[in-house]
Amino acid sequence: MADLGVARAASMSEDETGTLTRADLADVVHLKLGLSRAESASLVERVLYHMCNSLSDGQNVKISGFGSFVLRDKGERIGRNPKTGVEVPIAPRRVMTFRASQIMRDKIAG
């Protein structure tokens, strides 16, 4: 993972915000694995596709050493319009949360 930052730093212009993109991931796969750029982009797209499909099917996604994407059902509740103070019902919905692994938290903190 440390190499990922080096690859990104070389390709980033000064006005970018430092966001990792699909193209950045594909570039790292291309450099590290020696796949063609098209194969690297396809590999990244397939991984993200499977993650999205699993989440949309109601399955949680756990990537060891990185973190977990967890689905949670939130019940109906009453909210309040901050401007008018009128109470408004908020419909039940499913939300996705991310919980970083301990390894990731240590890297970020350290």
Condensed to tens digits (0 to 9), the pLDDT of residues 57-106 reads: 999 999 999 999 999 999 999 999 999 999 999 999 999 999 999 999 99
CB 37 within 8 A of CB 16: no
- Global confidence as pTM: 0.71
pLDDT tier for residue 13 given thresholds of 50, 70 and 90:
very low
Tokens of 9: 């730093």
Q: Strand pairing partners for 87?
A: 80
Amino acid at 104: M
Burial class (CB in 10 A: 0-12, 13-18, 19+), 31: middle
CA dihedral over 5, 8, 13, 16, signed as positive or negative = negative
Q: Which sign does the torsion angle of CA 90, 96, 101, 107 carry?
A: negative
What's residue 1's pLDDT? 42
CA 68, CA 54: separation in Å to the nearest integer? Answer: 12
What's at 61, amino acid-wise? V
Identify the helix (H) or strand (E) that includes residue 52.
helix 37-56
